[in-house]
Chains A and B, each alone.
Chain A
Amino acid sequence: MGHLMEVRNIETYYGPTMAIRGVSFDVTQGEIVTILGANGAGKTTILKTISGLMDPQKGSVAFEGRDIQRMDPNRVAGLGISLVPEGRELFPFLSVRDNLQLGAYLRRDQAAIASDLERVFEYFPSVKARASQPAGMLSGGEQQMVAIGRALMARPKMILLDEPSLGLSPKLVKEIFEIIVRINREDRTTIVLVEQNANVALQVAHYGYILEMGRVVMADTASALLEKDDVKEFYLGIKDKGVRGVRRWKKRKTWR
């Protein structure tokens, strides 16, 4: 069986700057796939390229066997791909309820939309209490919940989550990740999770890719990645003292 999404050798530029230098990866139906990397590694650019907000210079993105690179973002959304953008990107002057309902913009089944709205409120009770307030008035955590809820309202086949932990307290991060796992388990929704917080991401993901300078440098199952020395040291901050206390600066990443 093929993968739900296959990304092949995409190269994406910001003007003359090459942000993605030939990235390939697969996303299997029903899994949580995480893409990890430091600032500027190109994580967000990958999601923007998939969702059509940016066009790759080279390479292809196939979703359900269909090439979607260079498609307009609204058409990509119509295929069942929902992006939860970095920094939430809500509609600040519309009410929370309107924001959520806009997530279902392409759907016509009013009854199902209403029941999905109830479900989002059940996932995020604190959002329900503020349903009639303008979304711009909410706290960062609540805004993130609305952003995820808005993506869910489209009943997507695949959700692209861009740094959902950004700027949130550890407690909120935990809450949000619990919901992400629930969404994945209960609806079998495929999730592509881009994170800087490698620890949390690898706890929930099935498979992980590590991105550096616009290239994939490591790919493995999440549990295997958690065990790798390089990942431990450079992404999880767990330092092995070593027999004679090897100094950090002597250590080189195996992929360099």
Chain B
Amino acid sequence: MAEFLQLLINGLAVGCIYGLVALGFVLIYKAGEVVNFAQGELVMLGAFAAFTFVVQFGLNYWVGLVLAMAAMAVFGGLLDMVVVRRIVGQPQFSTVMLTIGIGVVMRSGAAMVWGPETRSLPTPFDATTFHFGGVVLSAVYLAILATTVLLGLLLFCFFRFTRMGVAMQAASQNQLAAYCMGIPVKRVLSGVWALSAVVATIAGVMLAPISLVDTNLGAVGLKAFAAAVIGGFGSVPGAVLGGILLGLIDLFSGVYLPQGFKDTAGYIVLLAVLVVCPQGLFGAVGRKKV
């Protein structure tokens, strides 16, 4: 029982990270019809940015975090303004190639700047653990859960109550109409990229104590992509729940299923979901007319 509870909490935490990365995918996809295959690399860069500020510059952890988020927001916005915007309106295939290319460039760039070694990002909670009955909970995992819930609430309020948030919703639901309302759609889209990069940074920083920081951190993007598809690409709550589902499957299958299932179980579930309900669990009813 204790083992089950512990797996549950850890699975939820890992799932939250997947969910946040998936959220980044979904935000960009909904707003600009671009599937950003470099989302995992944004996570990696975010973690490296935090590493730079906290470890290399020796700043306070929280200050470093905020600076990393700000830097990544600028980076994400610029990425859209300078590179991605030029390919809007081209066939979907070009955007796929473009974002994959961006991902490769980012990974190599990171290797050139920070080197290929694996780094660790110390957090204020590293050594802290809590004991409840037989369950040992590490503060890192609890912090991940709390951050995700908080971030979810913040994002909800942002999209519901702020001018920019409503403009983002409008632009993602009907770009043409948003333009006619006087919403500067291009700037809003860059804003979405910035927001998505910030979410990716938070995910990267949360992932750092679990899996260390190196240039392969972006591999989480693949899992998150699966999570977004399970949730029905385009649904924000779906992305987070899909991520949590995958996280739980990851941990439970690693313990309760035979060796080797840890890495495949998630994708088996993905295939099953796609067979049973092709729009994903929370996909919009009625598909896009072509």
Contacts and interface: CB of A to CB of B under 8 A. Distances in A.
Given A98-B166, A102-B170, A150 B181 contact: yes
B182 A78 contact: yes
Contacts of B177: 85, 89-91
Contacts of A91: 169-170, 173-174, 177-178
Query: Chain A interface residue count: which class?
Result: 20 to 34
B27 to A, nearest CB: 15
A98 B177 CA distance: 13
A154 B186 CA distance: 20
Contact of B181 (A52, A93, A102): A102
B271 to A, nearest CB: 29
Nearest to B187: A74
Given A53-B176, A89-B174, A94 B169 contact: yes
Query: Chain B interface residue count: which class?
Result: 10 to 19
Contacts of A90: 174, 177
A77 B182 contact: yes
A35 interface: no
B82 interface: no
B173 A103 contact: no
B115 interface: no
Contact of A94 (B170, B176, B180): B170
B181 A77 contact: yes
A82 interface: yes
A103 B182 CA distance: 8
Contacts of B182: 74-75, 77-78, 105-106, 154
A83 interface: yes
A52 B184 CA distance: 13
Interface of A: 51-53, 72-75, 77-78, 82-83, 85, 89-94, 98, 102-103, 105-106, 150, 154
15 contacts: A53-B180, A74-B183, A83-B180, A85-B177, A90-B174, A92-B173, A93-B169, A94-B166, A98-B166, A102-B178, A102-B181, A105-B163, A105-B167, A105-B181, A154-B181
Interface of B: 163, 166-167, 169-170, 173-174, 176-186
Given A89-B177, A91-B169, A102-B167, 15 more contacts: A51-B180, A52-B179, A72-B179, A74-B181, A74-B185, A82-B180, A85-B176, A85-B177, A89-B176, A89-B180, A91-B174, A94-B166, A105-B181, A106-B181, A154-B182
